[in-house]
Structure 1
Amino acid sequence: MSDPKFVPQHSFESVRTLDLAPAQLQVASMPATEISTVFGSPGSGKTSSLVARFLKLVDQGISPDQIVLIAATRESANTLRDHLALEYQGATEGPLAKTLTSLAFSILANRAKQAGELAPVLVSGSEQDQLLKEVLAEQDNADWPKSLDKTVRSLTGFRTELRDLIAACLEHGVDPDRLLELGKQQNLPQWEAAAMCFKSYLAELNSTARARFDSASLLRRAATLLASLSELPKELARVQAILIDDAQELTPAAAQFLFEITRFGSGITLIGDPDSATLGFRVANPKAMTELAEKIATRAEKIVNQIYLEATHAVRRPEISAALSKISAQIEVARAGRQRKGLNPPADVQTTGDALTVRVFRSDSEELGFVAGLLRRRHLFDGVPWSKMAVVARSRPALEQLALALSAESVPIRVMGSASSLKDEHASGQLLRLAHTCLGKEPVDLALATEFLTSQLGGLDQLGILRLKRSLKKLTE
């Protein structure tokens, strides 16, 4: 009995050179205005099907600017954008792939520009945390239950929970008054206090001339705007097809936004795997892709075309496939399920039991010792390079703590990705702000000009500023 063959990983492999499965060809060949859902287990070729569909539509004469490709996160959008750029090899008016948040932001920004208003601002997680910190500091202690005293409310973890509650409310269209009402109905005084905090938070967001949004309120505002228009804005007016990758990560606000975009007849293809949903903490709903497609089809008086992809090659060890199959069997099917057939290992392949190990530890230190020891043994005795081993953690803070601990155990560590956004980095933040100002998006006053001139970009010290002032004064005399 021969071992299963695994697909080698290349830096880039064109979809045009792949031998696509019949279901993938069906996805690629659908008309642009088709309303469809495509389900597939990990490794079944969902993203390849999406790229193949994009290329097929372009081959049929549809401009790339008439196709909207959406990814669930900024990182996946960047990856998909690079892949599409290599496949298409042509110029476009904008990025080939984006997130729904960036699309909503561009719509609101263009609308503000047409109205002569300042462009909106998308507040970051750290900025939301600071806003809530200020709001909580001003709120009366009597509003909160005694168990949530001032000390508890000062904790970062408490503000994170409060921010998640507010995000869930915004996603589901629950305003502060409705949250207050629900708190009274359910006898939850913490919800009543949170409703007052929620109201103050929204007031702070709207306290400046420049509109400020978090991601949930941004999508809701964009959806409301589109619903009020008799025709789509120019950036969407020519769109014929919308392709959604990882559609199992759609939130209620995202689904409503897409529903409004498709109001004028564009087709939509939602590709995903409900079993692989990871953004539930952001109120993502694995059922949303099916429910949204049915809602759009009902409005258009059409039928949803459901397609199920099946893996045609081994993409993982059979032991892992067997484990995934058992785990997925305990998950609600989310109105799908046939894609799980791709998780079953081939019947003629025997599992060895050494590819997957489950361990439960009594403490963090015990877990750390096991992980560090395992990595060192694989490197020293099995000759596995450090760069070929990876440790995955639930969150960025947990990953950074784990990295520090492993470094102390003589395990070389490189954390993937940046811990902060570019605008929060010293050098790149200055460049971005300068570009923002040069584009006329921020007024220049004496304080801002002095800040730029004395920064590393300007290179002037206080003596240089004084000499510049004297020179400018002479020019005006």
Structure 2
Amino acid sequence: MTTAPTTRLVAAPLVEHEALGRGARPVLDARQQEAVDRAATGPARALVVTGAPGTGRTTVALEAAAAAVEAGLAPDDVLVLAANRRAAGELRDRLAVRLGRTAGRPLVQTPAAVAFAVLRARAGALGEPSPVLVSGPEQDLALAELLAGHAAGDVRGPAWPPGVPDVALGTRAFRDELRDLLMRAAERGLAPSDLAALGRREGRPAWVAAARVYEEYLDVMALAAATPDAGERLDPAVVVDAAVAALRRWDDDVPGVPCPSRRLVVVDDHQESTAATARLLGAFADRGARLLLLGDPDVAVQTFRGAQPTLVARALAPAPDGLGAEHVVLGTVWRQTAPLREVTARVAERVPAAGTVAHRRAEVPADRAAGPAARVAVLPSAAQEAAWVAHRLRRAHLQDAVPWDDMAVVARSGARATAVRRALAQAGVPVRVVGSDVPLRDEPAVRPLLDAVRVVLDAAALDADVATRLACSPLGGLDAVGLRRVRRALRAEELAGGGGRSSDALLVEALAEPGRAATL
């Protein structure tokens, strides 16, 4: 079974690594080979490898892990950390193909997954129930119920400042911001009282109010874990620190049971690591693990979730402030031409320095010096932008014989990727969306079903927005033009009958009472 070639539409941040010889040993340049040798068999306890985009940091990460195994290290003693699950899944497949052998535990994981595995091993050794990792949807549901109870008067809620209107408290966007604040506080070990004190000291009344919600949230989580057979419920923000504490107390708490440590820990995209991840690396290092940290502090995209790109340079500092790591700079950009390298270098120059900038001097090899110049198009609207992109793709394919598989469009966000995908499909450009981390509830195929179920069960009001989404979903089968025709027909019928209601109200009525649309 074959699939038609497609243009890739990528939702930023782009977390995709090109495979340089999947399943085969890639050809490394001198600096890459030096980094692999020093990480796999060198005497240094910590090595930092920095490089601009396209210099092969991920290739070095995988080759260092493979070289360590080929040098005699057991696969279970090697761990590669990735910034997120999508990157971890791709690197896991590539490393498995590269090694050609199996391991007793995953070789590539996220820091949270590693931490959770440590806590599960500890609970099993002590005969305790396994801990439970609270997912994002569960957190959102708990906060939604707490805020709904405040709004209904069941429990007295905090006094939110005037900048937070009551109408915002019931929205998902507010809950997302609130959850992010609470998780960042938990990640830094702040109790509700600490968050409230910090808010008063910094003049942030919203933080003081959020501390009240935080206290209630912790009580709810503690109550859920109060049953005899329930394990400890841990948020993703605190699971890493809980694992760090478990590793440091392992010999005292679980005597005679081997600690789940590693001998080589490789961190890809270390600029996306948080302070908690750095503490986890320190705990592994204290147990004898060698560390290989690869990153580019100029391309950090997870800072809003606690990532600290300064950790790359901090690892180079001598102890106790840092790890005293050795430093290798990858100086050749293999994935860009000279004009594109010039663009990325000029952008990087405007990024505040995070302690190390030697990687910005990377250059392209002589055989890649030529290449098309970068172009900038400023268009007056998003629709015209999408049309221009579609035109450029079609022109490249039809006139220049560029395969669809060799084209990619990078969108700023998942929402923008959806709009661009729709515009490209209407223009006859085959599209495959990759890299978008849209929650399941917001997927185009799922949201209409959830909307319909909520309306049927009277869990949500059928207002104009919901009616419009349902009408234009696969359930309703209308597009924008068809919906406009329906609205005009309903409005004309209303005016002919002497009424004056808006098309929004008429559309809601048509969906709520199917017989109402029989005259259309």
TM-score range normalised by the length of the shorter chain: 0.7 to 0.9
| 1:400 has 2:418 as partner | yes
| Structural mapping, 1:448-459, within 5 Å | none
- Structure 1 partner of 2:22: 12
The alpha-carbon distance between structure 1 residues 129 and 235, as it changes in their structure 2 partners (threshold 3 A), is farther
- Checking the alignment, whether the CA contact within 8 Å between 1:226 and 1:260 is kept in structure 2 is yes
- Structure 2 partner of 1:97: 108
The alpha-carbon distance between structure 1 residues 59 and 387, as it changes in their structure 2 partners (threshold 3 A), is closer
Secondary structure (helix, strand or coil) at the match of 1:357 reads coil
- Structure 2 partner of 1:239: 262
Query: 1:423 offset after TM fit, Å?
Result: 12
- Checking the alignment, whether the CA contact within 8 Å between 1:122 and 1:213 is kept in structure 2 is yes
Identity %: 32
Query: 1:211 offset after TM fit, Å?
Result: 2.4
| 1:85 has 2:91 as partner | no
- Structure 1 partner of 2:124: 113
- Structure 1 partner of 2:204: 188
* C-alpha separation in 2, matches of 1:222 and 1:93: 20
Deviation sequence 1:85-129 (CA, Å, 0-9, x none): 222222321122111111101111122223333322223322222
* C-alpha separation in 1, matches of 2:20 and 2:288: 38
| 1:168 has 2:191 as partner | no
Query: 1:421 offset after TM fit, Å?
Result: 7.9
Q: 1:266 aligns with which of 283, 289, 296?
A: 289
Secondary structure (helix, strand or coil) at the match of 1:392 reads strand
| Structural mapping, 1:227-306, within 5 Å | 227-230=248-251, 236-237=259-260, 239-292=262-315, 294=317, 297-298=319-320, 303-306=324-327
- Structure 2 partner of 1:379: 397
Deviation sequence 1:386-432 (CA, Å, 0-9, x none): 3432222233333234323443444433323686789999xxxxxxx
- Checking the alignment, whether the CA contact within 8 Å between 1:141 and 1:149 is kept in structure 2 is no
Q: 2:336 aligns with which of 316, 328, 338?
A: 316
1:400 alignment partner AA: T
- Structure 1 partner of 2:145: 134
* C-alpha separation in 2, matches of 1:53 and 1:158: 43
* C-alpha separation in 2, matches of 1:259 and 1:284: 17
1:12 alignment partner AA: R
* C-alpha separation in 2, matches of 1:231 and 1:87: 38
- Structure 1 partner of 2:216: 200
Which blocks of at least 5 consecutive residues in structure 1 are unaligned? 1-7, 426-477
1:134 alignment partner AA: E
- Structure 1 partner of 2:359: 339
Query: 1:50 offset after TM fit, Å?
Result: 2.2
1:159 alignment partner AA: R
* C-alpha separation in 2, matches of 1:122 and 1:193: 26
* C-alpha separation in 1, matches of 2:21 and 2:171: 44
Query: 1:12 offset after TM fit, Å?
Result: 1.5
Secondary structure (helix, strand or coil) at the match of 1:143 reads coil
* C-alpha separation in 2, matches of 1:334 and 1:49: 22
The alpha-carbon distance between structure 1 residues 360 and 251, as it changes in their structure 2 partners (threshold 3 A), is farther
The two structures have a TM-score, normalised by structure 2, of 0.71
* C-alpha separation in 2, matches of 1:305 and 1:166: 36
Secondary structure (helix, strand or coil) at the match of 2:431 reads coil
Q: 2:235 aligns with which of 207, 214, 221?
A: 214
- Structure 2 partner of 1:465: none
* C-alpha separation in 2, matches of 1:253 and 1:238: 17
| 1:224 has 2:234 as partner | no
* C-alpha separation in 1, matches of 2:442 and 2:174: 24
The two structures have a TM-score, normalised by structure 1, of 0.77
Query: 1:299 offset after TM fit, Å?
Result: 8.5
Secondary structure (helix, strand or coil) at the match of 1:68 reads strand
The alpha-carbon distance between structure 1 residues 420 and 279, as it changes in their structure 2 partners (threshold 3 A), is closer
- Checking the alignment, whether the CA contact within 8 Å between 1:36 and 1:307 is kept in structure 2 is yes
- Structure 2 partner of 1:428: none
Secondary structure (helix, strand or coil) at the match of 1:207 reads helix
| 1:388 has 2:409 as partner | no
